[in-house]
């Protein structure tokens, strides 16, 4: 972890079963005062609409708190979901963890 950047790296799937724990983890970071959050999706193989809702909720909450949320390392299938949903136009998505850390460190 670089500086005060918090990293969350979910594995496997984010869906109706795993979503509540992921949501709790992410929102606890934001509500606890974290203002630079990296969601590293390198080990994510599937995200449902429930998972997309959680990411959007986290992004909105972080923006309201004056912080930044960045996603990175989306595999082609996950990237396509973000593209089709239009989330790639409203979220900061970078190709690698290093690029995301550099981007967050600059703020």
1 assigned to some structural domain = no
| Structural domain count of the chain | 1
pLDDT reported for residue 1: 47
H/E stretch holding 8 reads strand 6-8
CATH number where 19 lies: 3.30.750.24
pLDDT tens sequence across 63-92: 999 999 999 999 999 999 999 999 999 999
Are residues 59 and 89 in contact, defined by beta-carbon separation less than 8 angstroms?
no
pLDDT tens sequence across 17-42: 999 999 999 999 999 999 999 999 99
Q: How confident is the model at residue 107 (pLDDT cuts 50, 70, 90)?
A: confident
Mean pLDDT value across the chain:
96
Q: What is the CA radius of gyration of the chain?
A: 13
Range of the domain at 39: 6-102
107 assigned to some structural domain = no
Tokens of 100: 């995301």
52 assigned to some structural domain = yes
């Amino acid at each position: 972890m670089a500086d005060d950047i918090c990293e969350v790296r979910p594995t496997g799937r984010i869906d109706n079963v795993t979503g509540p724990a992921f949501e709790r983890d992410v929102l606890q970071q934001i509500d606890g005062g974290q203002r630079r959050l990296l969601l590293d999706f390198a080990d994510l193989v599937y995200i449902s609409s429930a998972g997309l809702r959680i990411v959007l909720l986290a992004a909105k909450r972080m923006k309201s708190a004056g912080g930044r949320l960045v996603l990175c390392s989306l595999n082609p299938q996950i990237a396509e979901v973000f593209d089709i949903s239009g989330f790639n136009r409203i979220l900061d998505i970078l190709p690698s963890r290093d690029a995301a850390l550099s981007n967050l460190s600059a703020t």
